[in-house]
Chains A and B, each alone.
Chain A
Amino acid sequence: MTTTIKQLSIFIENKSGTLIKVLDLFSKAKIQIIASTIADTQDYGIYRVLCSAPCEAFTILKENGINVQLTDVLAIAIENEPGKAAIAINALSEAGVNILYMYSFLWQGRGVLVMRTDKSEKAMEVIAEKDMNLLSENDFKI
C-alpha cells in the first residue's frame, strides 16, 4: 500500500537559541526525533522533523506558540548501496515529478529518502510501478 507520512515543518528564526526551545518541547513530551533537517535563509529557517508521534508533537508545539505545519511527505526505502538513490530519483524525474526538497537517513539498515514533490499522486504511482518501497508511519513506530 502506498501512503504518505506526516512531517513537522517548523518555522524558526535564524538566531542562536531558537532551536533549543523547540527541542526542549520534544524532550519534555518524550517524543523521539527520527530524522531532521534545517533549511535556512539569512533570516529564518524551516526545521523539518520526522518523529515518533507527529500529531501529538504538532499539538504541543502549536500550544506553545510555535509556527508549525504538518506536511505530507514521501519516505522511499532503498537498498544501502551506491546508485540506488539515482535509480529512484531518475524514475520520478522521467515521470515529470519535481522534488521540492529532500533529505535522507539510514533506518534499520536501509536508506530512506524523504521528499516533498510537486505531484504527490503521480510520484506514488511511479513508486508502485517501479516496485520501490514506500514507508508508512507504522514503519517508524519505536
Chain B
Amino acid sequence: MSNIFPNDNCPFFNEKMETMTRAEIETLQLKRLQATVRHCMNSSFYKKRFQEAGIAPEDIKSLDDLKRIPFTTKQDLRDTYPFGMASVPLRECTRLHSSSGTTGTPTVILHTQKDLEEWAAQVARNLWMVGLRPDDVFQNSSGYGMFTGGLGFQYGAERMGMLTVPAAAGNSVRQIKFITDFGTTALHAVPSYVTRLYEVMRSMDIDPRRDTKLKVLAIGAEPHSEEQRRRIEEMMGVKAYNSFGMSEMCGPGVGFECQEQNGLHFWEDYYIVEIVNPETLEPVPDGEIGELVLTSLCREAMPLLRYRTRDLTRVLGRSCPCGRNHVRLDRMRGRSDDMMVLRGVNIFPIQIEKILMTFTELASNYLITLTTDKENDNMTVEVELEELFTDDFHRLQELTKRIQRALKDEILLTPVVKLLPKGTLPVSEGKAVRVVDKRTVYQ
C-alpha cells in the first residue's frame, strides 16, 4: 500500500477541498453537518441534549439552523468521562488521547481508524501548504504520549511522505545532533523551545543558517506574538508557521498558516467555525474578537457540536492570495476562561491555589503574574504570609523554596515565588483577580 501524493510542484495536497469556492464549502458543510448530527444521535449525551432542546436532526435544514443546537463545553466532556460522549461502540475506536486532568476530572477524546486517517490528512495538508515535500526531513520535537502534538504531527508528516524523526521533547544537544546528522529541513516545536534550541546551538558554535538545512518551522501549542515569530525566523533563518490544534477536534491540524502568513486557514471541510461573544453567545461580526466555537464535520468516534474552545480570536477574511477560501483566523488572543498556557503547558489558577492552601504559613490571597523575559514566558506567584512565624531570613527563604517545589510538582514549571506581608495584595470586590497577563503576545 502506498500513499498517493500530488506532484511536488502542485501547491495543494488536496486541491479539490482546498480550492473550493465559498458556495461549494457551504454546500459541503451543510451536507456534512446533517450527517454528523444524525450520527450524534448514537451518543447518549447528544440524544438527551437534543431532546432537552426540543430539536431533532431533521430540523437542521440550513447552516443557519446550527444556532438551534446547544453549545458543548469542556465541562460536558468531564461529566461524561471517560466514554459517555462516544457516538460509536468502543470496539470501533482505535486510540484515545486524554488531558492531564490536573484540574480534577480528565477528559478523553476517542478516535476511530478513520478519524486518525482524516487527522493525518489535515496535518499533511498543512505541511504541504507551507512548501514541504516528500524529500524533506521532518523532526518532531514535541512531547509524545497523551499530548496530541506528538503523534498528530508524526502521522501527518508520514502521510505526506516525509522522513519523520520522532525526536520528542527535550535533550537539546541530542536534538541538534539529529538536525545536523539527518539533514532536518523542518521542525515542529513550541516557540519557547525553538529559542532554547537556538541558545544551545550558539553555545555549540553551530549557526543554523550555515550548519543546518532547516527551512521551515511549525510552531504552536503556546501563545506567541507576531514579534516573537519574526525573531525566531530571524535567528534560525527559516520561515515559522503558526499551527492551531486542540485535542477535542483531533489535535494539531485544525488550522495552519499558509505561506502568506496572514492568519490561520481553518479547514472548513472538517469544521464549522463560529466566533461568538463569550458573554451573550451571539455571533460577532467579522473582524471583531470573540470566542472560537467549532463543530466537527468528519469525526466518527466523538463528534462535537458547537464546542466552546474558550480561545479568543477573530475572522480576518475568507479569501487568500494562496488560492484557498477557507476562513482565515487571527492568532489566538487569549482565553475566555482562566486557563493559562505557559511554555506549552495548560495551567488553571485553581491548581496554584490548591498547593498554596496546603501551607499553613500562608494567607489566602495570591496573585499570578505572567511576563515575557526575552522569549521566555515566566510566572510569578505572589502570596501573603498569614503570620510572621520567624524573623529569620533563612527560614523565610526556605519556605519560599518549599512552595516553589510543591508548585513545580503540580504545574511542571518552576515559578518565581514572592512572599508578601498580609494585606499587600489588592482585594477586589466580587470576583478576585488572580492572574495578570503581561506577556507581549496579547499586545
Contacts and interface: CB of A to CB of B under 8 A. Distances in A.
Contact of A69 (B391, B393, B397): B391
Contacts of A12: 421
B421 A46 contact: no
B39 interface: no
A100 interface: yes
A36 to B, nearest CB: 13
Contacts of A9: 388, 391
Given A13-B424, A44-B421, A67 B388 contact: yes
B379 to A, nearest CB: 15
Interface string B54-69: 0000000000000000
A11 B389 contact: no
B423 interface: yes
Contacts of A69: 387-391
A9 B419 CA distance: 16
B421 A11 contact: yes
B364 to A, nearest CB: 14
A48 B390 CA distance: 12
Contacts of B421: 11-13, 18, 44, 66-67
A13 B420 contact: yes
B190 to A, nearest CB: 29
Contacts of B392: 100, 116
A104 interface: no
A43 B419 contact: yes
- Grouping DSSP codes into helix (H, G, I), strand (E, B) and loop, the B interface class, with mixed when no group exceeds half, is loop
Given A11-B385, A67-B385, A48 B391 contact: yes
A67 B389 CA distance: 9
Contacts of A32: none
A68 B389 CA distance: 9
A44 B391 contact: no
A67 B387 contact: yes
Interface residues of A, number: 20
Contact of B393 (A18, A39, A67): A39
Contacts of B419: 43-44
Contacts of A67: 385, 387-388, 421-422
A68 B388 contact: yes
Nearest to A9: B391
B418 interface: yes
Contacts of A71: 391
Nearest to B417: A43
Interface in A21-61: 39, 41, 43-44, 46, 48
Nearest to B389: A69
Contacts of A13: 420-421, 424
A10 B388 CA distance: 8
| Most chain B beta-carbon neighbours within 10 Å: one of A18, A39, A43, A67 | A67
Nearest to B387: A67
B157 to A, nearest CB: 46
Interface string A60-100: 00000111110100000000000000000000000000001
Contacts of A65: 422-423
A69 B387 CA distance: 8
A48 B393 CA distance: 12
Interface string B376-407: 00000000010111111100110000000000
B356 to A, nearest CB: 16
A43 B416 CA distance: 11
A81 B45 CA distance: 87
Nearest to A73: B391
B393 A41 contact: yes
Name the 10 nearest CB pairs between A and B, nearest first: A9-B391, A67-B388, A69-B388, A43-B418, A65-B423, A11-B388, A67-B421, A11-B421, A71-B391, A13-B424
Interface of A: 9-13, 18, 39, 41, 43-44, 46, 48, 65-69, 71, 100, 116
23 contacts: A9-B391, A10-B388, A11-B388, A11-B421, A12-B421, A13-B420, A43-B418, A43-B419, A43-B420, A44-B419, A44-B420, A46-B393, A48-B391, A65-B422, A66-B421, A67-B388, A67-B421, A67-B422, A68-B388, A69-B391, A71-B391, A116-B391, A116-B392
Given A44-B396, A67-B387, A69-B390, 19 more contacts: A9-B388, A9-B391, A10-B388, A11-B385, A11-B421, A13-B421, A13-B424, A18-B424, A43-B418, A43-B419, A43-B420, A44-B418, A46-B393, A65-B423, A67-B388, A67-B421, A67-B422, A68-B388, A69-B388
